[in-house]
Amino acid sequence: MAQPTDPITDELERVADELDLLIARRRLGPRTPAQHHDDEETAQIMAGRLVAPFRGSARPVAEPIYHRDNKAAW
């Protein structure tokens, strides 16, 4: 019998698969500073995707205090 699908669980599994790939890439050996930066950025995106299913599509109500290159800080 097939198990019912749960959108939150499905998204968590997708992020888990991407995390496995990131870990495998890190285990290949030393990383350049640029690669390290890219890995950190990837981890930040994954972290956001881990909590997003639980929070829905809520957005911050305050305007960002910093915004440049499609990135913002509050």
Task: Report pLDDT for 73.
Answer: 64
Q: What's the pLDDT tens digit per position in 5-20?
A: 888 899 899 999 999 9
pTM of the model: 0.65
Query: Residue 18 class from Cβ within 10 Å (0-12 exposed, 13-18 middle, 19+ buried)?
Result: middle
Q: What's the pLDDT tens digit per position in 35-57?
A: 999 999 999 999 988 888 888 76
| Amino acid residing at 69 | D
pLDDT band at 24 (very low <50, low <70, confident <90, very high): very high
